[in-house]
Structure 1
Amino acid sequence: MQVFPESVYFCPSCGCGLCGEGEYNNDGEIFVEKTILFCDQCERGYHVGCLRERGDEGLESCPEGNWFCGEKCSEIFFHLQNLLGKSNSAGIDGLSWTILRSNEKHGRNRNTSSIIEAMTKCKLRAARSMLRECFDRIIQPATKTDLITDVVFSKESAVPHLNYRGFYTMILEKGKKPISVATFRVRSDKVAEVPLVGTCIRSRRQGMCRLLMNSLQKVIFSVDLDTQLDIILANMGVQKLLLPVTAKLLQCWNTSFGFSVATNFDRFKMLEYPFLEFNDTIMCQKLLTRAVT
């Protein structure tokens, strides 16, 4: 942008995913063309009128339960839901991984028992404590809340850049103690982000982060435990992974994990998605190539 917009301006992440316009009806009592529906997976907003023009049927009233902008988002969402709370072997004796997400309102979690919900919160609190070992504390200027807490507990917000509802947490454990933790969010079949990855101090330089990322790559988008994330995502149409990296760790993520620095042009192509990034970090990406079968 070379000059200030002359009319009302909405950033790409706030505009309708079809027409790009950001004006909408915010009266929840009526359902009109300018009513916005938000996808429960990619979290993009869509005008009801634009969806009708696209050919979507049955939009006479606000959909009940989960709503998705397309089949791809539906597939990703329910696959992730099927993985929630299940302990899986990490391939080394005594180590296991679990994917968790807070808030019983999210999809199938609303039907979980109070005991399971309490166990989930307990594990997420342990994951938060471990991540606090790894990162300086970041207080959100707008909300005065702790960012790690907001991400790990999937805090919702009407402001797109402060909405962490879509985040999941993956924990690598030995016994019941977290060793390594990663938070991730699948923005669409185009891109997924992994903004927070950390290993507890006593287990560093032992390959735990690699083990966690390998587990994530093997299972997060497919029930086939022997398939790498690169192949799974590429075959599903997902194009890349994003990860903010400090300059000190850039070479490690480049050489050991296959990430490269995302260019300005790369970032421009993903403007419709607000990603979580931090001061003094470099956004890196891992391009995914379709597997040959």
Structure 2
Amino acid sequence: EKGEIKAPKGNRKEVKASSLKSSSPSEQINTGSLREEKQKISDQIKGILQDAGWTIDLRPRNGRNYLDSVYIPPSGKGSYWSVTKAYAVFVEGMESEQKGGKKNQRPSKKSVGSPGKNHVSEEILSKLKRIVVNKRRTKVELQKLKKKKHGLLKKQKSSKGKSREKRNKISNSRKLHSGSERKKRGGCALLARGSNKEGGSSTNGFVPYEWKRTVLSWLIDLDIICINAKLKCVDETHSKILLEGVITRDGINCSCCSKVYPVLEFVAHGGGPVSKPYRNVLVDGLDTDLLHCLINAWDKQSDSERQAFFPISTETDDPNDDTCGICGDGGNLICCDGCPSTFHMSCLELEALPSDDWRCAKCSCKFCQEHSNQDAQDNAEVDSSLCTCSQCEEKYHPGCSPETTNTSSVSSQAGNLFCQQSCRLLFEELHNLLAVKKDLESEFSCRIIQRIHEDVPETAVALDERVECNSKIAVALSLMDECFLPIVDQRTGINLIRNVVYNCGSNFVRMDFRGFYIFVLERGDEIIAAASVRIHGTKLAEMPFIGTRNMYRHQGMCRRLLGGIEMILSSLNVEKLIIPAITELVDTWTSKFGFSPLDVSQKQEVKSISMLVFPGTGLLQKPLLKKTSPEEHLRSQEVDGVFSELESGKTSHVANEDSLCSANAENQD
């Protein structure tokens, strides 16, 4: 298939004519060597597909240094690397078409996919398929082994249980939750697309995106608007046309000067109101503006794609989590009595199991570290219930806050509650920065966006701001999918990267990603790089993911985005940025980016905070400079050739400088 392109029509006719000379396809191709035989079969199928209107294109494929054939159906929907897969889809379409014709009692025409001169038998088709010898045990054998192993484990537990209980003097009311199966499977691995560890099977069906990542490209991809559709910039009353243009994936091609502008600059170029640019650009033929096109595109996603909260059932035989909330690994875990969270005793620094009711940090007050406030219980005028801070997401007793004894003084008009004034101020400043463009060097800019959920009232977030944020979030998710392989949690089935980008919640604390913001690096309307950041009050912010589009790697884009993130966080008085890093990249983060390992007191501090962690990683921190200019930040982040010092055997854990994985976790054997 390599190097194959669409053949001229005349050549295809010659192939067809020669095939008619044989009495059957079997006689036609059952000659010559096996390699030649396979090539003839492949050529015959390609001819069939091309006669049916299919297109054969050449595109770069991840992990390969050559162009490979991609088979595209006439509808343009979908693409296939495998010629046999493409032929199977073609045959399936022909069969469904014939069935539909019979159902409607119409005389069926002989299509190119019907049995005849263009039909390839299953026997011949099988010669192109790989023959894999499965040396694994059968299901029956595996079940027998599992039962046998379970019986042995049960005997071992019963024989050791009494001595362990006697030795530790632990009450029968609490036992360690076994997460051994989780430990055997290993933690969730974060791998960049194209890395050596990716594996061939993981990229099946993934075709690199060759256009710019913009909201206009997103609209075109979803068939909301057509490429080259005419646009009109109008005044606020929509009664006067100020400027006309044509939509492209790169921007809007102006009719007066033939230059391509981002949406905002196109409106400004036409003299229109720039405060709400998407409202003032009408799509010719659709009788609507770009704002409502973006709304239609967002609504076109399925309910599962737009799901904001992911409840995990706790009504099963095993209602608890199987992963430590501190280190992200499995094993023997202690269960919280207030939520499904579980932890290693060593991570909690406990020498013995608590015999009474025990609550984790997320179920306790951040100030008094207790679940209930004994002083408040004796006073009917004081609220003893736990509240959740809308900014740092930590629990607190209103009466325990060192800054106030009155809940109303730290609540916002939108009904948000805050544990202290610093969290309230941070929340308000972040809200003011949402979707606001922050200029960096040259033509680059940084912007904070966050998925705005449907239940947020328009009084809190205006419609235009909500639509722009959600549209850019959808584009950012596509960028992250381009950078990393999907990470699906084995216990809950949750796609981690998707839920982090979409700011989704869950009743499992470890899977609760509310509070994440996405920082994007832009050039015009194009999103080049993105990072996920969650701010835990003014003490610290975490950044588990940062990635750059493949076409812009090795150009310092990650450095620019990181500089913008540090500039914005320091302006918000956030003290430090924390990242998880694998062992092989610790030296790079520390020597080139200014990060350093956490000291003992800092490790204790982060244990009480719910952070996204991966097994096999360590946490690094960087103090954030205060009130510095973008130029000073960028000069302090000069990291040209940052990965050139890495040994060749270690570079497989990260794609390159601009696809840095803050938490590039490895599988644990």
Tell me which interval the TM-score lies in, with the shorter structure as reference length.
0.7 to 0.9
Partner in structure 2 of residue 85 of structure 1 = 435
Measure, in 1, the Cα distance between the counterparts of 2:468 and 2:626. 38
Task: Indicate which of 480, 485, 501 corresponds to 1:131.
Answer: 480
Deviation, 1:155, is 0.8
Aligned with 2:362: secondary structure? coil
Question: Are residue 75 (structure 1) and residue 425 (structure 2) matched?
Answer: yes
1:253 matched residue in structure 2: 589
CA displacement at 1:281 relative to structure 2: 2.3
- Equivalent residue, structure 1, for 2:257: none
Q: Secondary structure at the match of 1:13?
A: helix
Decide which moves more: 211-220 or 154-163. 154-163
Structure 1 equivalent of residue 556 of structure 2: 207
Tell which has more relative contact order, 1 or 2 (C-alpha 8 A, sep 6+): 1
**1:198 equivalent in alignment to 2:547:** yes
| Distance of 1:96 and 1:128 partners within structure 2 | 19
* Aligned match of 2:187: none
- Offset at residue 100 of structure 1 (A): 0.3
Q: Which runs of 5+ in 2 are unaligned?
A: 1-349, 374-380, 628-669
Matches within 5 A, 1:21-170: 21-22=370-371, 33-48=383-398, 50=400, 55-57=404-406, 65-93=415-443, 95-104=444-453, 105=455, 110-113=460-463, 115-170=464-519
Would the alpha carbon gap of residues 22 and 58 (structure 1) be closer, same or farther in structure 2, given more than 3 Å must change?
A: closer
Counterparts of 2:545 and 2:403 in 1: how far apart (Å)? Answer: 37
Say which of 531, 535, 547 aligns to 1:182. 531
Q: Give, as a single letter, the amino acid of the residue that structure 1 aligns with 2:426.
A: I
Percent identity, please: 30
Render the CA deviation track for 1:78-127: whole Å, top value 9, x for unaligned: 1111110112322222x2221101124569884321x4423322211221
Match of 1:172 among 498, 504, 521: 521
Contact 1:13 1:271 in 2 (8 A): no
Equivalent residue of 2:578, what SS?
A: strand
Q: Per the alignment, in what secondary structure is the counterpart of residue 607 of structure 2?
A: coil
Q: Look up the equivalent residue of 1:204 and give its one-letter code.
A: R
User: How has the CA–CA distance of structure 1 residues 290 and 81 changed in structure 2, closer, same or farther, with 3 Å as cutoff?
Assistant: closer
Larger radius of gyration: 2
Opposite residue 282 of structure 1, the aligned amino acid is G
Contact in 2 for aligned 1:85/1:120 (Cα 8 Å): yes
Q: Contact 1:14–1:160 at 8 Å: present in 2 too?
A: no
Native 8 Å contact 2:540 2:575 kept in 1: yes
Q: What does residue 609 of structure 2 align with?
A: 273
3-state SS in 1 of match to 2:361:
coil
Mapped to 1, the partners of 2:517 and 2:610 lie a distance apart of 16
Q: Give secondary structure in 1 for the equivalent of 2:451.
A: coil
Equivalent position amino acid for 1:37 in 2: C
Tell me if the contact between 2:597 and 2:621 (Cα under 8 Å) persists in the aligned partners. yes
Which stretch of the first structure deviates more once superposed, 116-125 or 182-191? 116-125
- Counterpart Cα distance in 1 of 2:507 and 2:398: 18
The answer to whether the Cα contact below 8 Å between 1:101 and 1:154 also exists between their aligned partners in 2 is: yes
Which amino acid letter does the alignment assign opposite residue 553 of structure 2? Answer: R
| Compared CA separation, residues 97 and 287, structure 1 to 2 (3 A) | closer
What displacement does 1:49 show? 5.0
Shift of 1:211: 0.4
Q: CA shift at 1:255, angstroms?
A: 1.7
- Counterpart CA distance in 2 for 1:145 and 1:67 is 28
Q: Structure 1 pair 179/247, CA: closer, same or farther in 2 (3 Å)?
A: farther
Q: Which residue of 2 aligns with 1:228?
A: none
With the length of structure 2 as denominator, give the TM-score of the two structures.
0.37
- How many residues align structurally? 268
Cα separation, partners in 2 of 1:59 and 1:79, compared to 1, 3 Å:
closer
Find out whether 1:4 has 2:337 as its counterpart.
Answer: no
| TM-superposed deviation, 1:135 | 2.6
109 and 246 in structure 1: CA distance in 2 versus 1, 3 angstrom threshold: farther
Runs (4+) of structure 1 exceeding 6 A deviation are none
2:362 to 7, 13, 20: 13
Inter-CA distance 208–150: structure 2 relative to 1 (3 Å threshold): same
Code of the aligned partner of 1:151: V
Distance 1:249 1:202 in 2: 23
Partner of 1:240: 576
Q: Which moved more, 1:257-266 or 1:270-279?
A: 257-266
How far apart, CA to CA, are the structure 2 residues paired with 1:162 and 1:12?
16
- Following TM superposition, by how much is the alpha carbon of 1:20 offset from its aligned partner in structure 2, in angstroms? 1.2
Q: Distance in 2 between matches of 1:89 and 1:22?
A: 45
How far, CA to CA, are the matches of 1:248 and 1:32 in structure 2?
52
Q: Verify the 8 A CA contact 1:171 1:178 in the aligned structure 2.
A: yes
SS of equivalent residue, structure 1 residue 111 = coil
| Distance in 2 separating the partners of 1:122 and 1:289 | 32
What displacement does 1:271 show?
2.0
Higher helix share: 2
Paired with 2:367 and 2:594, the residues of 1 have a C-alpha distance of 33
Take 2:539 and 2:621, find their aligned partners in 1: how far apart are those partners?
Answer: 12
- Counterpart Cα distance in 2 of 1:19 and 1:83: 33
CA distance in 1, matches of 2:470, 2:625: 36
Q: State the one-letter code of the partner of 1:122.
A: S
CA distance in 1, matches of 2:485, 2:366: 35
Work out whether residues 504 and 514 of structure 2, in 8 Å CA contact, stay in contact via their aligned partners in 1.
yes
How far off its partner does 1:3 sit? 0.8
Distance 1:81 1:216 in 2: 16
